[in-house]
Structure 1
Amino acid sequence: MMERSYRNLEIELTKMESLYALFQNNVKLTEYLSGLYANDLEMAYNYKKEISPTFTYAYIGNQLLDKITVYKNNPEVPIVSAEIEDIDHYADPGHEDDVKKLPPSKGMWTFEPGTAVTKLPTIRYIHKMYNDSFTRELGLFQLTLNDGLIKQFFQTLQSKGDVWHIVLDDNKRVIFQDTEPILNDTDLELIFAAVPDSGVKTFYMKKHSYLVNAAKIKHWNLVMLEISPTDEALNIRKEIGWSVAVGLLLLLLLSALYFMMASSFAMRIIRFSRHMKRVVDPRHAYYPDTSESDEIGFLITNYNAMMHRVEELTHAVTQTEQLKQEAEIKMLQAQIKPHFLYNTLETMRMLALMKGDDEVADIGLKLGKLLRYSLSKTKDETTLFEELEHVQDYVDIHLSRMGERLEMVMNVHGAHAMELRCPRFILQPLVENSLLHGIEKIRGKGKISLDLWDHAHEVVIRLSDNGAGMDEQRLTIIQDVLAGKLPQEQIPFSGGIGLYNVNERIKAFFGGHSGMMITSHEGQGTVIEIKLVKRRGEQSA
C-alpha cells in the first residue's frame, strides 16, 4: 500500500507543477507583469477577461490548492487582485538563495513546518515568471498546498490498529507526528540509514518489535513514515491467512460441485451415445431418459421426435410400396379387357365381311383403330401423321351416322410436317368440340375444314367449322383462360376445359411460345388456330 500511496503522490505533484505552464503561457498575464498596458482601464479589462479565469480554472480543477500567488518584480505595475503581490512581500526563510539560482526550466518545492509538531507542514511550489522570450524575469509564481495532500497520502495506506504517522526532514528532524514521540535519536539514525534516496522501503526495527513503511519524497526532501507494532501486523497477517483459508475451502467446495455436475452431464452423454450405437431398428430407438429439462434433455427429446418421424416415414414408404404393387396387379388385370374388346370387334368385322356388309366391317375396323390409339399406354407422344389419321377415322365413323349432313375437308401443305413429333389427342378433342357444340346445333349441312402449313420454324394448323359459333361472353371467358388471365376452375360451362387441357399440353411439349387461339361469331362458326414451334433439329430450311 505504501508503494501505491507514493505513486499517487507523485502524480499529484506532477499535476501541480503543470499549472506553472498555464500561467507562464498566458500572454495577457506576462504583458500585465511587464507593464505594457497603456492605462488602468485596459489593464483591468484584460485582467478580468483573460487572467482572472486562469486562476479560477486552477482552483476548480485542484482541490488540494490553498492559494496561488504571483509576485511581480515591477513595482510600477498596479495590484489588481489578492493573487498579485510585490516581490518585496515574498518571504521563505532558508530558501531565498535557492530561489534566486533557479533556472528558467525548473521549479522548486519547499516546506514550512507547522506551528506545532502535531501540525502538518505547509508545502509550496515556486517557479520564476519570464517574458515571452525568456530574456527578463517578471516575478515569482507560487503554489501553496493545503494539508489534504499529506493526509491523502496516509489515508491511502488504509492502516488499522495502533499506527503512527511521522514526517522527517533531511536533518533527521521530526516536523510532524500524530502521537506522542516514540523515536529517539538512535532510532532516527537507523531509519535514515535504511531509507533509500527515493522511493519506498519496508523494514523492521527494535528487534522486530515495529514494522516501518518508509517513503522518501524527493521533491520535498521529506521522509514519510508509517510505524506499526509487529503484533498488529501479525494480526493483519492472521486475518489474511483466515481469508485465504476460507477462500481455498470455498474453491475446493466449488470444484467438487463442478466435478459432480460435469460428471453427471458426461455420464448422461456417454449413456446416450452408447444407446445410439446399439440402435438397429428405428422402432427400438427411443431413449427413455427425458426427465431433465436442461440442454441434454432437450437434445434427447428432439432425438426421440426424430426417431418417431423416421418410423412414420418408414411406415409411409412401406405402404407406398404395397400400393404400387397393388396398382401393377390391377394394371395387368385391366389389360385383359382391351384385348377382349379388340378381339370381339375383329370377330364382328370378320362376320360382316363374310356376310358382304362392307360398311359395317369398315366401321368395325376404324373403331378398333380408335380404341387401340386411345387405350394404348406404351407411349404418350406420336406424329402429326398418326394424329391426323386418328382424326380421319373419328370423322369417318360420324360420317356413317350423319351422312350428307357432314363434310370434312383436310388440306396438308408440306408433307415434311407429317413427321413432326407431338402429344396424342391435340386435334381429335377439337374436332369433337366442333361436332358436338357446333355442327349438331344447326339444321343445314355442316362442314369442318382442317388446314396444315409447314413453315421453317413452326407448323400452323387451322380448324374451322360453320357451326353455331358462340356468343361474345363465352368467347371472352375461353380466350382469357387460354391466355392465363383466368383460372380454368372458373369456366362456368362445358367444352372450355377440354380446350384448356389441349392448350396446356401443347405448351408443355413445344414450349411457351406455342399454343392456340380461338375466334368465333355466333351463328357463323368457330376458327381455332394452333401454332407448334419446332424444336432444334426439326426445323426446315
Structure 2
Amino acid sequence: MKLLNPRRWITPRGMQGKIFIGFALVTLLSIVSVTSIVYVNMRDTIKHNAVTSVSDSIRQADESLNIMLQEIDRLNTVVVTNKNTVIDTILSPNEEISYEWFQEQKRISEFLSGLIDYKPYISRIAVVGTNGKVFFTGSPWLDRSFLETPMMKDILRNGSRHAYFKPAGTDDVITVGREIRYDRKAIGVVMVDLNYDFIKKTYGVKPTVDSMLYVLDENNGFVYQSESMPESDAPSVDTIVKVNRQFSGRGVADQVIDGKSYIVVKRQSAYTGWTTLALIPMDSLLSESTKIRNRMIEVSVIVFILILIGSLQMSYRTTIHIQKLKSMMMWVREGNLSFPRTEIKSKDEIGDLYRVFIDMVEDLERLMEGIRISEKKKREAELTALQAQIRPHFLYNSLNTIKYLANLNGVPNIEEVSGSLIELMRSVLGNSNEFLTLREELDYVASYVSIEKYKFMEPVQVVTQIEDDALLKCRVLKLMLQPLVENAIIHGIGQLGQEGFVRIRVYAEQHDLIIEVTDNGKGMTQEEIELLLGEPEKEKNSSRFSGMGVRNVHERIVRMYGEPYGVKLMSEPGRYTKAEIRFPLHNETEISAKEVV
C-alpha cells in the first residue's frame, strides 16, 4: 500500500475543499452583511440628518416669522386703541379737500409713519374706515376701492383677531389686518404689509438643490413657494394641497408624489395657523450614498477575490498534514503496525495529533503483546477455576452421603443437620443476588435454626408472625435477618442454659417494612448495645457463621437507604432483647429495575 498523494484530495468533498468553500461562504456573507449594514446605516443617517436640518430650519423660520408678526400685531393694537388720532379721525365729519381734512390726514400720517420708522421689513401701514376714509403711509397706493375687496370683508369678519393674507396677484407683501371698533361697532380696519423678501430669506431652506418648500395658510392658499425646481418637475398646486390634507398634524413621512419618492416634513404654526411643507427628493438626497455604495461594492469584490486566493493557500497548508496522517491511519487499518512514517513537525494541533497517534500505535503494539500474554494466563486461570468448582461440588456430595448414611442408620438429627447445612450453603454460595424475597430470607433462618438447636440441652422455640402474607413477596437485603436471630440464640438464650423463646414479627408501617426479633434471654445494657452497633471487633465476635453481624446489617441498610432505616436495639437486662429492622417496602419489579441500573 502506497502513501496517498495529498494533492489528490483537493476536491469539493475533501476537507480542503470544505474549508475553502466554508471560508469563502463565511467571507462572502460577512462582506455582504457589513456592506449592507454600513449602506443602510449611512442612508438612515443621511435621511435623519436631512430631516433634522429641515425640521430645525422650518422651526427657526416659523419662530422668526412669529416674532415679526407678533410685533406687527402689537402695532395694529396700538392703532386700534388710539382714540384721539385714529378713531376720532375716522369718525370725523370733515370731508375731503378741506383744511380740517388736511390737518387730520397730516396728523394720522405722522402717527403711522412714527410706528413704522426704522422697520424696513414693513412696506406699508394703512387705516381704512368703513365710511370711505383711507389713510396710509408707504407703498403701494391705496384708495377707497379697497372697501369692496374680499380682504376687507375677511378682516371685518375676523373681528378683533389678527388676520394674515397674501393678497391675490401680488408676490411682494404679506398683509396683517385687524378690525377697528368703537362703541361696539366696526368703523374700519388697520393693515400692515410685511415685505415679502423677509419671507423668502426666512424660509430659504435648501437641504438639496431640487428640494421644495411650501407655506400654506388656513384656506390652503400659498403664502410662499420655493422656485428651485424646474416647472416641469415640480408637483402641481393641487397635488401639494392634496398632500397637505392627507398628511394631518406635524411630522415626517416618506411619500410618493407624481411617481417620485419624497421625504415630506410638515409643521403647523400655532400662532398663524400656517402650514409649512418641505419636500426633499429621495434620489438627489441619496445620490452621494449611491456612489459610495457602488464604490463599496467594487472594493468588496476585490477584497473577496484576495481572500479567496489566501483561503485556498491556507486550506491547502492546513490539510496537507491531515492527509498525511490519514494515509498512515489507512496502513494501521489494514493491520500494518509497522508502516512508513512521514514525520510531521508542525507545532499546532495537527502535530500534537500526529504524536498522539504514534504513541497510540506504540501502545497498541504493547497491548497486542499483553493480550497474547493475558490469553495464556486466562487459559491457565480457567483451568484453576475448573478445579475450584470441583471442591464445592465435592463438599455437597459428601454432605449428601452423610445425610444418606444417617437415613440408613436411623439417625434423624444428623440427617436434619446435614440437609439444613446443604440448603444453607447452596443458598449462600449459589445465589449471587444482593436482594431476595422475605420468604427466602426466612427459609435461611429456618435452616440456620435447624442446625443451631442441637447445640443446646434445652430446646429453643422460634415463632414467626406474619401480619400479611403479601409481605413475604417483598424484596429485602440478603442475610439481613439471620445475624439477628444468631445473636438472639447464641448471646441471648444460649448463655442462660434454659429453654428459650425467639419471636420474629413482620408487619408494614406506612411505606416501611418492620421486622422485630425478640428473645427472652439475659438482655443487654445500654453500653453493650452501643458496643454492639459501634465496635467492629465486637461485631466480629458476635457473628460466627457468616461474618455479617448486627453492625454490618445496620451499615448495609443505612448506606443504601440512609436514615432512619437500619437496625434499632432495645433491651432490659435479665428480661428481654428486641432488635427492630426498618426497611423500605419494595416489590419484585422495583428491585429488578434497580439491579439492572
Q: TM-score, normalised by structure 1?
A: 0.46
Q: TM-score, normalised by structure 2?
A: 0.42
With CA pairs under 8 Å and 6+ residues apart, which has the higher RCO, 1 or 2? Answer: 2
